[in-house]
Structure 1
Amino acid sequence: MISPTLRRSSAAPRAARWLAAGAALALAAACGERPADTAPSEQSSRASEAQAALAPWRDPSLSPEERAADLVSRLTLEEKVWQMYDKAPAIERLGVPEYNWWNEALHGVARAGEATVFPQAIGLAATWDEDLMLRVATVISDEARAKHHYYLSEDVRAMYGGLTFWSPNINIFRDPRWGRGQETYGEDPFLTGRMAVNFINGMQGDHEKYLKTVATVKHYAVHSGPEPTRHSDDYHPSEADLRETYLPAFKMAFDETGVASVMCAYNAVWGAPACGSERLMVDLLRGELGFDGYVVSDCGAIGDFYYPHAHAYVETRAEAAALAVKMGTDLNCGDGEGNKMDALPEAVEKGLIAEAEIDRAVERLFAARFRLGMFDDPADVPWASIPYSVVASPEHLALSEEAARKSLVLLKNNGVLPLKGGEKVAVIGPNADNKMTLIANYHGVPTAPVTALEGIVEKIGAQNVSYAPGSPLAGDVYAHYEPVGPDVLFHENENGALSPGLKAAYYEDPQRSGEPVLTRIDPNIDFYWHRSPTTNGLNDEFGATWRGYIVPKKDGAYRFKVSRWAEASIDGRPANGETFEMKAGERYALSVDFGLVSGWTRDALEKFVHLEWVDVSRDLRAEAMAAAAEADVILFFGGIDATLEGEEMKVEIDGFLGGDRTHLNLPKPQEDLLKALKATGKPVVLVNFSGSAMALNWADENLDAIVQAFYPGEKAGAAIVDLLWGEFSPSGRLPVTFYRSLDGLPAFDDYSMRNRTYKYYEGEPLYPFGYGLSYTTFAYSDLAAPESHDAGEPMPVSVTVTNTGARAGREVVQVYLQREDRPHPSAPRVELVAFDVAELEPGESRTVSFVLPPERLGFYDEDGAFVTPNGSGAIVSIGGGQPGMTPEGQAASRRVVFAADASDGR
């Protein structure tokens, strides 16, 4: 929660007012003398290097701010503005190397090749485990440092190779339709804030001088879809919703960590683009919230200031750049249209901004680089010697599996789980062998991925498993593509006969000009390279071609898919996403051209190409029924994946639009198949993968057990198998409400919180926030809380938790507050105020204690002012879920009266 008082003013005229004020500041700055050493050097390069070596910015005994100020004083205006671009070039005359600011670490180091892939953020939130989150983030930052210094050892300074990470996403998953909600920690601001604090601390480390990495909280601050209109939407949250929902996680991060960076959002808020909003960026962020780090724009957000199809808030590139910097946006992530900050010299000339304001932004950026130790002796910088061998090490993979286990949520169980052993099982469903359910979005390359099918076969043996994908994922989207294998790929040899493999040619030029540097026969096209096959470089572009024939073994209608950077054709027809009727034994000419080119969203650190296909003419339903006939138990792996929900995607089928959801139902092909499988009379267990809530209404009424897996990371299959066969008791809890439908929810683009999330929802959910079952039982007793309490002081509460079952278990202890008199319609109906986890053996009891600070006891009035209750009552409930939504005995509650003159007696 956040303290009261916000200055109010109209956002609409702000841009013109700030730009006009800039003219006066620029004139004042022009009257002063510029230090002589800020002009471009006319001396020899040797003299320049000598001067730079002696410069204060090279002195590690000075503060990062002092060093940054000295360095910036030596730069020309043009040099400064290019340092404000995510692809910052080298300043060779001073020995400042280039730096690419863009890196990602949402649930593991992303987009830079191999790394440990942890459960997606929403799955990490389902663990409700702060200590686990700290350990996960510490591993991620270990791998980040190891990869960064490995790249530097070969003078590679590529995108996704730096130490400034644009994670975590701490927006509130306020609406289940949002495709990027999977990247968040759920719908509750308090849970989000606690997970964020631990992620940031794990990423940034605890050294008194140096940052381990930079964490970036995003997207500040009122942002959570819709995706298709995010560049033009304008949201107007109420004062109460701003304070109760949209700001608390950011405030918690600023108050409890030294988070170094913030990313501002695409959309407008109160009439002004978020990255150019005086109220958001000046009054709140830099003022009330006290953030003193640097701000990076979301990629293209500054262009949205003036693009006609976006906000059209100002008219020119120069006005957009000036406004962004004046509001405190220091770094422009581009959008493929260049560096918007390169218009700042024009803005200075026109009096729209003073150079001193630009200096302030550049100083913040260089201060961050100094804090990372980028200009210091590596021997003095902790973590610079972390070996590359830690990347995807056995210890790190084990932690990913632990996180996956703790993220799985058991939603229903009529006793069929855990499985007893000795069963023959049918593994059915489009997500049974779908690696996309493991990695979600913003991911690295897993080194040891285990799908559900692979985990089950490993657990009980292939002889006890019958498998069928059963249906498309949704609509005409399939999840069971396979690599086109060596057994169907051929080329003509010198005698004109078909020989196995494809003729491959590799070029240093990604456009494949000149002579190839390597020719060979490749068995198929299914490659991941650590280094360029042409130069052996870590980040070198290259091209390749493959020529030959496909000779299918079976008649079928084959749909092809080829990776990014590649184009495929069959008999001269484009083959990416196209379907071809093919006959067994006939040859079809195959041509694949590949060119790995660095662009505005990718460099060449991640090098791969895959040619895959799927036979869409197969009778998937008949295969599934045949598989079920051979089994004692049916395990159905369904749901969706990150090819359907995510960031601004080109998807438009039933249930999905532009990365978002249009309804919450399980895709129809899957539900129809589930009904047929249920009709067999055999037990059916559904394991649902999704980054968002699903309306599993029919499944809840008819199936024997349901497990919500979210996107569990690369060791998903191993964790799921251990849950199904009872190697551990499930303990994950939902970080979002699972609604029965969208009925009653406000419009997606309505940012009012009324009737949204568990805090405000007036309907009956399918599965409530905080819900999850176990293989054991827990009882709550001896709740201790004061009968009356001064809400301006911290309030202690405690409870005894006992494992009353026959096996060990992990319980998520949740503390909620319900005010007897809801002060206004925008106030929460119920609110999570604390949580912890307890590992208990059978029969073991433990007292779990909390101290609730005053900001957890009060609320905000409709004008956004914080209210410390006095004279009113509230119910404090502690249990394994929300009050009234847990079995009898699995929660305890007590009434507390808030009174300013209360003694803290019990």
Structure 2
Amino acid sequence: MKKRNIFVVLLLTFAVGAGAQTLSYMNPELSARQRAEDLCSRMTLEEKATVMMNNSKAIPRLGIPQFAWWSEALHGVGRNGLSTVFPSCIGMAASFDDGLLERVFTAVSDEARAKNTAQRRKGSVDTYQGLSFWTPNINIFRDPRWGRGQETYGEDPYMNSRMGLAVVRGLQGPSDRKYMKLYACAKHFAVHSGPEKTRHSFNIEDLPERDLWETYLPAFKDLVQIGGVKEVMCAYQRIDGDPCCGSNRLLQQILRDEWGFDGLVVSDCGAISDFWEPGAHGVSKDAASASAKAVISGTDVECGSNYKRLPDAVKAGEITEAQIDTSVVRLLEARFELGDFDPDSLVEWTRIPESVVACKEHKDLALQMAREQMVLLHNRGNILPLAKDASKIMVMGPNAADSIMLWGIYYGQPSHSVTVLEGIGNKLGGDVRYTKGCEITSLTETESVFSKLTCRGGKQGMSAQFWNNTEMEGVPAYETTYSAPLHFDNGGNTVFAPGVRLTDFTARFRGTLVADKDETLDIMYTNDDGFRLIINGDTIAERWKTDRLRFNRRKLDVKKGRKYDIQVDYMQLRGGATLNFDVAVVRNVTASEIAERARDVETVVFVGGISPNLEREEAKVTEPGFDNGDRTSIELPAAQREILKALHEAGKKVVLVNCSGSAVALTPELETCDAILQAWYPGEQGGHAVADVLFGDYNPCGKLPVTFYKDDSQLPPFDDYRMAGRTYRYFNGEPLFPFGYGLSYTTFALGTPVYDAQAGKIHVSVTNTGARDGVEVVQVYLDKPDDAGGPLKTLRGFKRVELKAGETKDVVVDFPRSAFEWWNVDTNTMCVTPGKYELQVGTSSVDVKKIVCELK
């Protein structure tokens, strides 16, 4: 019998031993709600507080197993070892393929269930190993400077809704099964999109009701009312003075009363602490009162530890036990729906084998999505596709050989990542000429030698041990090996490793380098609090105390054939935790020097853009153009821009592969580059997908889910949440590349669209007028011309169509009466509003044909 089943049977036996019959909550024949109510009635107040925190300890006397509410699956199972890493969400949105997205997240949920089942049978389920997955992020990507925009599905409410619904279907599984496959979570509710630096104290005031209901809330409403999402995560910031996780208006009036949501509300990590900790919102006096405010407002589960003070809040009269019971019943019902209390033999999802994790079928899905999300922005003289001639091509750029860049943020660990350099090399049948040229923001070349380190058992990289104490004593909480440079921080309450605390922990890393030549190496490390560097037994650097964040670089002269034992010790005491470590060769370069390296080739494929190390959640490292994970400028970093200009002036054909999680201003690059391919952060198969597009084995069909602006001057202030002047829906200027834009290696022509109001359908003929098979995305936008305060247009439908060269198809896009929902200025509500409308049908938000109709 499996260990998990033995545990359940023993607990059931224990529970029955005290009485003559099976307790109601242990009876799988009863409904999840009945079981939850019965179990809640048997719990002490302290036990109720325990199960309301994200890491819920087992309560053996009642047969309540350990449970972890916080797991990640942003674009693949995250932070839980081996998994398939799909492209970033913003990239997957560029596919305009919600059918494929649902297949992707069905694969993700298969891997998640299999990993959880294996973990449960080991007898322990910790953070990131559970059945509750805090995704999708359906916030509006209103400003390209927001570092977490890559987690979303773009700047349009309809796109976020449609893609979010696909994610929920894939994660939660069919709705007609006895047990849920997983719980999905719509986040961050609501009006959340940076800045990262002030999110724990920021207050959004005087937001127009129209912006709230027409832009920020529609995707959440659809996921609740149409998608049946089981969780909603409240956001960090305040709205009109109330923290989102303590907002009666958001969590009670809108979410539960108006929308009828009966699932769970979970807090963002650390959000309840923001109620009372110095420098944050300051709306509560202490952890107990903050917890009472959050629970009364409707936040059922806390990611944090404040809720352990709920019994104190009851004693102080700030909340009643009955109010706590409301949340406890909800979360226990969720666990019963997931089969958490029942034997594996009853729960069909536990039969998914571990062999699905990172299997070939899922890798193929990752490749398909990576191909579909590529957006061809520029192709002067049809330079693409390239001929497969390695002698005429050089690969260059800071992202060309970077495997970690492919993963974006909130990632898992792929079995292998195909870099762009590797993908092009495979396509050309062998070695391809390569030079890095520069870093993301500087004219330096850094060649890491971390991969030359070895550790115990001859493994590549450095061994690692973590302790949940500051003395490095006792049995380590976690041990592993890292084969790539170390990059850790606890931004977003992210632990360094499974089972390791957020604060008051230590870590030790060991590796050995055998020098293959005489040279000077740079040892680069960024850390806060305690750090110690020991080489061959000598302590080279040591600051073992509470400390600020520091960037350090030390030179190490090495001799060929000599062995260097390197040890890094780290101690975290409180607050933020950051540790980056690498061993590399670093030197300054000039743009002309880099261009000279390409003198005997015709074409340079420059793989540049930005990096998820710089644009991300609360990043601690600041470089020119970036601040705390957000961007201060949307321009391509100057170092890359100089090299592209030098290559162009040297007469080279230049193909820019831009890797980013957000829009980059590429105005000068329209002159210096012959082609631009937007690759986003394309996942573990990204290198193959880029090569397939560059060399014509795949015809690009991706479309932009965000506006690409010309320069910084076109952006309103970052911290202004009003929609005026933002996104394609309200931007009156001329963009560099508009929402919905994307080129192909063939051409398409649309006929005159026709709207059948009675059937609720739009018909339009689409012809492939070129010489290659391809895919076009027909897009439908809605405008109400007499509404001066409304959006210029707004997406309300799209459909992908595959066409062979010369083929014509009649495309039908659903457009029911409900699609005419619009802001009613008389009632201040979103509703189907009669009047004159324009239906705009086209291949981007600007290349459209219009139908004028009158809605009665």
Quick check: TM above 0.5?
yes
Alpha carbons 2:775, 2:801 under 8 Å: kept: yes
Q: Per-residue CA shift, 1:403-457, capped at 9, x if unaligned? A: 0000000000011000122242110100001123210100000112000001111
Distance in 2, Cα, partners of 1:636 & 1:598: 42
Which residue of structure 2 lines up, in the alignment, with residue 612 of structure 1? 582
**Higher mean Cα deviation, 141-150 or 587-596?**
587-596
Alpha carbons 1:408, 1:708 under 8 Å: kept: yes
Counterpart residue identity of residue 33, structure 2? E
Tell me how far 1:548 sits from its aligned partner: 6.0
RMSD of equivalent CA atoms:
3.5
Which residue of structure 2 lines up, in the alignment, with residue 880 of structure 1? 843
Distance in 2, Cα, partners of 1:515 & 1:850: 61
Does the residue aligned with 1:403 lie in a helix, a strand or coil?
Answer: helix
Matches within 5 A, 1:852-871: 852-861=815-824, 864-866=828-830, 868-871=832-835
Matches within 5 A, 1:385-404: 385-404=351-370
Q: Sequence identity, in percent?
A: 42
Are 2:435 and 1:472 aligned? no
Does the residue aligned with 2:669 lie in a helix, a strand or coil?
Answer: helix
Which residue of structure 2 lines up, in the alignment, with residue 111 of structure 1? 79
Distance in 2, Cα, partners of 1:777 & 1:310: 54
Distance in 1, Cα, partners of 2:46 & 2:53: 12
Q: Per-residue CA shift, 1:457-501, capped at 9, x if unaligned? A: 1111444x21111111114897753425159x99xxxxxxxx999
Which residue of structure 2 lines up, in the alignment, with residue 40 of structure 1? none
Tell me how far 1:561 sits from its aligned partner: 4.9
Does the residue aligned with 2:376 lie in a helix, a strand or coil?
Answer: strand
Which residue of structure 1 lines up, in the alignment, with residue 49 of structure 2? 81
Counterpart residue identity of residue 218, structure 2? P
Tell me how far 1:621 sits from its aligned partner: 4.5
Which residue of structure 2 lines up, in the alignment, with residue 636 of structure 1? 606
Gap change, CA 1:703 and 1:354, over 3 Å in 2: same
Alpha carbons 2:776, 2:802 under 8 Å: kept: yes
Which residue of structure 2 lines up, in the alignment, with residue 430 of structure 1? 398
Which residue of structure 1 lines up, in the alignment, with residue 854 of structure 2? 897
Counterpart residue identity of residue 646, structure 1? R
Gap change, CA 1:562 and 1:139, over 3 Å in 2: farther
Q: Per-residue CA shift, 1:632-654, capped at 9, x if unaligned? A: 21100000111000111113222
Which residue of structure 2 lines up, in the alignment, with residue 62 of structure 1? 30
Counterpart residue identity of residue 802, structure 2? E
Does the residue aligned with 1:578 lie in a helix, a strand or coil?
Answer: strand
Which residue of structure 1 lines up, in the alignment, with residue 178 of structure 2? 209
Matches within 5 A, 1:566-581: 568-570=533-535, 572-574=539-541, 578-581=552-555
Which residue of structure 2 lines up, in the alignment, with residue 352 of structure 1? 318
Which residue of structure 2 lines up, in the alignment, with residue 229 of structure 1? 198
Distance in 2, Cα, partners of 1:321 & 1:282: 16
Are 2:218 and 1:248 aligned? yes
Are 2:293 and 1:323 aligned? yes
Matches within 5 A, 1:486-565: 513=473, 546=510, 551=515, 553-561=517-525
Does the residue aligned with 1:445 lie in a helix, a strand or coil?
Answer: coil
Tell me how far 1:143 sits from its aligned partner: 0.3
Counterpart residue identity of residue 422, structure 1? D
Are 2:346 and 1:383 aligned? no
Gap change, CA 1:794 and 1:174, over 3 Å in 2: farther
Q: Per-residue CA shift, 1:237-296, capped at 9, x if unaligned? A: 211001110000001111211211010000001211101111111110111111110111
Distance in 2, Cα, partners of 1:168 & 1:482: 37
Distance in 1, Cα, partners of 2:253 & 2:747: 49
Distance in 2, Cα, partners of 1:283 & 1:778: 48
Are 2:63 and 1:95 aligned? yes
Does the residue aligned with 1:153 lie in a helix, a strand or coil?
Answer: helix
Are 2:716 and 1:749 aligned? no
Distance in 1, Cα, partners of 2:571 & 2:813: 54
Gap change, CA 1:431 and 1:342, over 3 Å in 2: same
Gap change, CA 1:183 and 1:302, over 3 Å in 2: same
Picking from 761, 764, 785, the partner of 1:796 is: 761
TM-score w.r.t. the length of structure 1 is 0.84
Distance in 1, Cα, partners of 2:110 & 2:794: 36
Which residue of structure 2 lines up, in the alignment, with residue 851 of structure 1? 814
Matches within 5 A, 1:812-851: 812-821=777-786, 823-825=787-789, 827-851=790-814
Gap change, CA 1:851 and 1:538, over 3 Å in 2: closer
Does the residue aligned with 2:198 lie in a helix, a strand or coil?
Answer: coil
Are 2:770 and 1:805 aligned? yes
Does the residue aligned with 1:450 lie in a helix, a strand or coil?
Answer: coil
Alpha carbons 1:235, 1:270 under 8 Å: kept: yes
Gap change, CA 1:127 and 1:514, over 3 Å in 2: closer
Distance in 1, Cα, partners of 2:239 & 2:461: 55
Tell me how far 1:47 sits from its aligned partner: 6.6
Distance in 2, Cα, partners of 1:739 & 1:682: 26
Does the residue aligned with 1:296 lie in a helix, a strand or coil?
Answer: strand
Tell me how far 1:101 sits from its aligned partner: 1.1
Which residue of structure 2 lines up, in the alignment, with residue 450 of structure 1? 418
Does the residue aligned with 2:284 lie in a helix, a strand or coil?
Answer: coil
Alpha carbons 1:634, 1:684 under 8 Å: kept: yes
Tell me how far 1:610 sits from its aligned partner: 10
Which residue of structure 2 lines up, in the alignment, with residue 368 of structure 1? 334
Distance in 2, Cα, partners of 1:502 & 1:105: 27
Q: Per-residue CA shift, 1:688-731, capped at 9, x if unaligned? A: 00101100010023310000011111000000000000001100
Picking from 670, 675, 681, the partner of 1:711 is: 681
Alpha carbons 1:685, 1:705 under 8 Å: kept: yes
Distance in 2, Cα, partners of 1:187 & 1:85: 33
Counterpart residue identity of residue 314, structure 1? S
Counterpart residue identity of residue 362, structure 1? V
Gap change, CA 1:389 and 1:480, over 3 Å in 2: farther
Distance in 1, Cα, partners of 2:700 & 2:255: 40
Gap change, CA 1:344 and 1:476, over 3 Å in 2: farther
Q: Per-residue CA shift, 1:355-412, capped at 9, x if unaligned? A: 1110110111011111111111212212211110100000000000000000000000
Does the residue aligned with 2:753 lie in a helix, a strand or coil?
Answer: strand
Alpha carbons 1:473, 1:479 under 8 Å: kept: no
Are 2:620 and 1:650 aligned? yes
Which residue of structure 2 lines up, in the alignment, with residue 19 of structure 1? none
Gap change, CA 1:475 and 1:861, over 3 Å in 2: farther
Gap change, CA 1:385 and 1:867, over 3 Å in 2: closer
Distance in 2, Cα, partners of 1:817 & 1:540: 50
Equivalent pairs, count: 812
Which residue of structure 2 lines up, in the alignment, with residue 37 of structure 1? none
Unaligned ranges ≥5, structure 2: 1-11, 488-496, 543-549
Distance in 1, Cα, partners of 2:769 & 2:459: 63
Does the residue aligned with 1:650 lie in a helix, a strand or coil?
Answer: coil
Distance in 1, Cα, partners of 2:815 & 2:315: 54
Counterpart residue identity of residue 474, structure 1? T
Gap change, CA 1:574 and 1:416, over 3 Å in 2: farther
Alpha carbons 2:467, 2:475 under 8 Å: kept: no
Distance in 2, Cα, partners of 1:126 & 1:220: 24
Gap change, CA 1:290 and 1:476, over 3 Å in 2: farther
Which residue of structure 2 lines up, in the alignment, with residue 128 of structure 1? 96
Distance in 2, Cα, partners of 1:86 & 1:479: 40
Gap change, CA 1:619 and 1:165, over 3 Å in 2: same
Distance in 1, Cα, partners of 2:312 & 2:498: 38
Gap change, CA 1:79 and 1:686, over 3 Å in 2: same
Tell me how far 1:896 sits from its aligned partner: 1.6
Distance in 2, Cα, partners of 1:716 & 1:819: 41
Picking from 384, 388, 392, the partner of 1:421 is: 388
Gap change, CA 1:118 and 1:70, over 3 Å in 2: same
